[in-house]
Copies of this chain bind each other. A is one copy, B any other.
Amino acid sequence: MKDVATAAGVALKTVSRVVNEEPGVTPATARRVLAAIERLGYRRNESARLLRRGRTATIGLVIEDVGDPFYSGMGRAVEQVALAHGSLMFSGSSGEDPRRERDLLLAFCARRVDGLVIVPAGPDHGYLRPELDAGVAAVFADRPGGLDADTVLCANAAGAYAGVTHLLRHGHRRVAFLGDDPAIFTAAERLAGYRRALADAGLGADASLVAMGPPERAGAALSAMLTGGDPPTAVFTGNSRITVAVLRAGHRPPLVAFDDFELADLLTPGVTVVAQDPMGLGRTAAELLFERIAGGRGPARRIELPTRLVPRGSGELPPAPGTAGPGRR
């Protein structure tokens, strides 16, 4: 900028005025400045500008895995909202590692982002307290975080309830639940929805029908259930990775899966799913964030986005004839 000023024979401030299209510059002067800018290939240093102005027009996004379709869809929605607000977006993956999440978030804050959209990996975000006090906005998405901040969730329990009820309506009485580690918020919520659905249908809880743990063990867990005494006639899977693990293990039971996935409709039978809305999640989270950045006050909000049951065949199968008598014995 200094060079441009020298080249155009004007003061620094005049160049600044031209660049910012501020009034009070003679067209002739402006032309001279613009010519110099063009000639020198000058581009304003946005970092310096933002340092001076205090707003960085930047937000940070931390998700579990940038490569996961669910989260990357969410990221895209956040990006769109950010762009609409003239902001750029840092993004990073926590990989479910709370320490890495912390490092990323603090790195973003050190860059003085205006706000954060966080899919929490760890339960504790106390380290963000000073940042929030310093004016950084934050929104948790998909799972609640360890702070009293705006939160956007999917209707995990209600969705699981609907999915399990769907199976019960098709005559099943013994429905297995294959879920992820119950330490994960969404896994626990979905399990709760499953249990409530059974209870509301007057069915008791049978611990032998529930297997919680890492997806790679889900196939074996289901195999064990099916070869045991009094096996399930239908299965509810708690997330896509588990669904896929079950399918890969060769199982094709009557099935409702939580979370939609590409090509679910092309399998035989098509997989009935409880679809979440990743784009909606991202959009809503980002909109809440920018409300806060714009100065919105008030208590933290908690929004649950509805799920949608998508019947595709696998969830409409009746109990296999010959299996399971009149229910539990």
Contacts and interface: CB of A to CB of B under 8 A. Distances in A.
Contacts of A263: 244, 247, 261-263, 266-267
B66 A69 contact: no
B69 A76 contact: no
Interface in A209-246: 244
A278 to B, nearest CB: 8
Interface stretch (A126-134, A140-148, A312-320): A126-134
Interface size class of A (residues with CB under 8 A): 35 or more
A73 interface: yes
B266 A41 contact: no
A269 to B, nearest CB: 11
B41 A130 contact: yes
A24 B131 CA distance: 30
A31 interface: no
A50 interface: yes
A109 interface: yes
A110 B266 contact: no
A93 B109 CA distance: 23
A107 B86 CA distance: 10
A47 B111 contact: yes
Contacts of A88: 90, 92, 107-108, 111
A13 interface: no
Contacts of A108: 88
The 9 closest A-B pairs by CB, nearest first: A41-B130, A72-B72, A46-B110, A67-B76, A66-B76, A67-B73, A91-B91, A263-B263, A46-B111
A245 to B, nearest CB: 11
Interface string A43-62: 11111101100001010000
